[in-house]
Structure 1
Amino acid sequence: MSSRQHAEITRRPLISRRRALTGGLGAVVLAGGGGGAWALNRYVIDHVEVAEASARTASNVTVAEADSSGTGTATGYTSDTAKIKIQTVVTGTGDSQVTYFVADVTVTDATIMRSAFADDEFGQNIIANPSEIAESVGAVLAINGDYYGFRDTGIVIRNGVVFRDKGARQGLAFLTDGSARLYDETTTSAAALIADGVWHTLSFGPGLVQDGKVLNGIDTVEIDTNFGNHSVQGRQPRTGVGIVGDNHLLFVVVDGRSAGYSRGVTMSEFAQIFVDRGAKLAYNLDGGGSSAMIFNGGLVNNPLGKGEERGTSDILYVAG
């Protein structure tokens, strides 16, 4: 199946999701008047803040040229600027079975790992399927990002450009030297991070692994308490990113909520996947039905056991 055909098939869940959300909030509008109108405006109506956002890069950073002549197979890709190996792992049986996907990624320069926005726009409630976003920027490999567009807080730096500076939670920062670190958004600023050489930030969490060890207390963390995004606890489909060393990354997507195929994992179980593969640092991204891995234009995982993507606001990807 071509990537174009794949995009046509997977576009429908995005539309259905918007209609479902609009319908649900429409009932609130009828019942609550002005409060419901606020909810529609806050969670459904597109609010574009920056157009042509994905192509913006920092003026003070030399962005590496990605090698577009790489060769790929069903489970890997090799070029002068990136090496990718994808593994499918199945553990347990029956209702205890877990299915997940690990992309082991090595890049020659930190700027080969990039971020892109749905519809090439930064703002709230702007969504597209990850495969569509990936195709628009020629990504070899992509995972869903932190769904920054669902909230109006957090520090959002992508490709060395500041898009939002409203610290609220624990974030992850990737630096142009190929390293990464967990940090407290509320104790710094986007300007300070840029001065330190930050290339990307992600704002979801929690941090999963620090110094090669699973962090304590992560199974009881709540990311946000706003409408529709209360908890990340329990066994869930998940997406995360880990760092083995400078310019050596792990993208991991765990399927879930599908009996007999994959039950999902707890936060601690998710963290252990990274530790077992040598990650020194790892961070949790948006999960659930949003969890998706795209490779060479195709959907690698099986979201919710239905094989359908769900719209999100952004991706993290390897340029090729």
Structure 2
Amino acid sequence: MKLLKKPFAYASIFGLLLTGGFSYSLLKTFVLSQAMTSVSATNTTSSAATSPTNVSTTDTSYTDDNIQINLETITTNDTTVYVADIHVSSSDYLKTALAQNTYGTNITAKTSETASSNNAILAVNGDYYGANASGYVIRNGTIYRDTIRDNADFGDLAIYADGSFKIIKETEVTAQELVDDGVVNLLAFGPALIENGQIAVDTSTEVGRAMASNPRSAIGIIDENHYIIVVADGRTEESQGLSLYQMAEVLKEYDAQTAYNLDGGGSSTLYFNGQVINNPTTNGNTISEREVSDIVYIGY
């Protein structure tokens, strides 16, 4: 029996190391923060004015010399949906920001916190790049990650310096080629909801194992310097949530030519004029913001 003690001990040690390694891997992926690069709070290449002039605001609108936003709340499919119609004089006012102005692993903050720290007028959660270990990350013309993501078939939303939108596939173009071609921001979640003015998903399309009815966030372009951001509440008694197809229907109704699904569920958050407008929730029991990696916003 004594001869069995060493092999048993070695096996026990190996098992502990294996378990510890797996646990650390999970912690590193989902919990432990690791800052890699500090970034500028705003797009430093912007030629836009540094502060707004002739500002006029209401609970549902914002207007100045360069930005006009009108917020509408509608009900469809037993769901409360917030629609922000956005006109800007220049694409410089369509921006992105990373939580804590830092690129890294599990660097997060509430959408409202990142929006406030960047003086955003309107903001929505982004693609939550930090929840994935792969996938292109391009912000303000800088490449932070250039590895192809697992669900690359969903496509990415490329936002160009002239403000135009295009759906791209990471398997068909490199991150550097995108930047060389004028891409300043890239969002990698998806899928595309509208392409060439037509709905690009069907009634069975879904993200992973997500439920059909969910809180949703999406961004689209209607015309030059004319954008739309849509956020749907969900998972509550008051608001059921939308399927991807239903979200696409809303965007098509507002004449979006290209529209893209952002991170949804508990991440879906719409910030406007200094406050959260929707009711973000993960499970429907508590209305509270989830901390996320990044935002898309309108501001200076």
TM category, shorter: 0.7 to 0.9
Asked whether 1:127 is paired with 2:108, we answer yes
Flag the 1:65–1:162 CA change in 2: closer, same or farther, 3 A: farther
Q: Which of the numbers 77, 94, 105 marks the counterpart of 2:86? A: 105
2:206–2:244 contact (8 Å) kept in structure 1: no
Q: Deviations over 1:5-25 (max 9, x none)?
A: xxxxxxxxxxxxxxxxxxxxx
Flag the 1:218–1:194 CA change in 2: closer, same or farther, 3 A: farther
* TM, length-normalised to structure 2: 0.87
Question: How far did residue 194 of structure 1 move?
Answer: 1.4
Moved more, 64-73 or 37-46: 64-73
The residue number in structure 2 matching 1:299 is 276
After superposition, where does 1:43-192 map in structure 2 within 5 Å?
A: 43-55=30-42, 57=44, 61-69=45-53, 70-91=55-76, 97-168=78-149, 169=152, 170-192=155-177
Question: How far did residue 56 of structure 1 move?
Answer: 5.5
Flag the 1:103–1:30 CA change in 2: closer, same or farther, 3 A: farther
Moved more, 298-307 or 243-252: 298-307
Partner Cα separation in structure 1 for residue 111 and residue 273 of structure 2: 12
Partner Cα separation in structure 2 for residue 161 and residue 218 of structure 1: 36
Question: How far did residue 67 of structure 1 move?
Answer: 4.0
The letter of the residue matching 1:314 is: D
Flag the 1:218–1:200 CA change in 2: closer, same or farther, 3 A: farther
2:267–2:290 contact (8 Å) kept in structure 1: yes
Question: How far did residue 221 of structure 1 move?
Answer: 4.3
1:111–1:199 contact (8 Å) kept in structure 2: no
Asked whether 1:245 is paired with 2:245, we answer no
2:42–2:96 contact (8 Å) kept in structure 1: no
Flag the 1:56–1:247 CA change in 2: closer, same or farther, 3 A: closer
Moved more, 158-167 or 283-292: 158-167
Structure 2 unaligned residues grouped into runs of 5+: 1-15
Structure 1 unaligned residues grouped into runs of 5+: 1-28, 223-229
* TM, length-normalised to structure 1: 0.82
Asked whether 1:314 is paired with 2:298, we answer no
Q: Describe the SS at the equivalent of 2:109.
A: coil
1:146–1:314 contact (8 Å) kept in structure 2: yes
Flag the 1:277–1:30 CA change in 2: closer, same or farther, 3 A: farther
Partner Cα separation in structure 2 for residue 216 and residue 44 of structure 1: 33
Partner Cα separation in structure 2 for residue 242 and residue 55 of structure 1: 21
The residue number in structure 1 matching 2:243 is 266
Question: How far did residue 289 of structure 1 move?
Answer: 0.8
Partner Cα separation in structure 1 for residue 244 and residue 204 of structure 2: 5
Q: Deviations over 1:10-62 (max 9, x none)?
A: xxxxxxxxxxxxxxxxxxx99933211211122110011111343464xxx55
Asked whether 1:254 is paired with 2:232, we answer yes
Question: How far did residue 166 of structure 1 move?
Answer: 1.5
The letter of the residue matching 1:148 is: Y
**What value does the CA root-mean-square deviation take over the aligned residues?**
1.9
- Structure with greater helix share of residues: 1
Identity %, equivalent residues: 38
Q: Deviations over 1:215-258 (max 9, x none)?
A: 14473344xxxxxxx43451110000011012111100000000
Q: Describe the SS at the equivalent of 1:231.
A: coil
After superposition, where does 1:266-285 map in structure 2 within 5 Å?
A: 266-285=243-262
Q: Deviations over 1:75-97 (max 9, x none)?
A: 010111111000011235xxxx2
Partner Cα separation in structure 2 for residue 36 and residue 56 of structure 1: 38
Partner Cα separation in structure 2 for residue 206 and residue 290 of structure 1: 16
Question: How far did residue 314 of structure 1 move?
Answer: 0.5
Partner Cα separation in structure 2 for residue 196 and residue 135 of structure 1: 31
